[in-house]
Chains A and B, each alone.
Chain A
Amino acid sequence: EVHLVESGGGLIQPGGSLRLSCAASGFTVSSQFMSWVRQAPGKGLEWVSITYSDSYTFYADSVKDRFTISRDNSKNIMYLEMSSLRAEDTAVYYCVRVTGGAFDIWGQGTVVTVSS
Chain B
Amino acid sequence: EIVLTQSPGTLSLSPGERATLSCRASQRVSSNYLAWYQQKPGQAPRLLIYGASSRATGIPDRFSGSGSGTDFTLTISRLEPEDFAVYYCQQSGSSPWTFGQGTRVEIK
Contact = CB atoms under 8 A, between A and B. Distances in A.
Given A102-B92, A107-B44, A50 B51 contact: no
Contacts of B7: none
Interface string A44-78: 11110010000000101100000000000000000
Contacts of B100: 44
Nearest to B91: A101
Interface residues of B, number: 24
Among B31, B39, B96, B101, the one with the most A-chain Cβ atoms within 10 Å of its Cβ is: B96
B95 A103 contact: no
Nearest to A59: B96
A46 B12 CA distance: 25
Contacts, number: 58
Given A45-B90, A101-B50, A109 B96 contact: no
Contacts of B88: 44-45
Contacts of A47: 90, 96-99
Contacts of A44: 88, 99-102
A41 B97 CA distance: 20
B47 interface: yes
Contact of A102 (B31, B47, B101): B47
B96 A104 contact: no
Contacts of B37: 45, 103
Interface of B: 31, 33, 35, 37, 39, 44-47, 50-51, 56, 88, 90, 92-93, 95-102
20 contacts: A45-B37, A45-B45, A45-B88, A45-B99, A45-B102, A47-B90, A47-B97, A47-B99, A58-B95, A100-B50, A100-B51, A101-B50, A101-B93, A102-B33, A103-B47, A104-B56, A106-B44, A106-B45, A108-B44, A109-B44
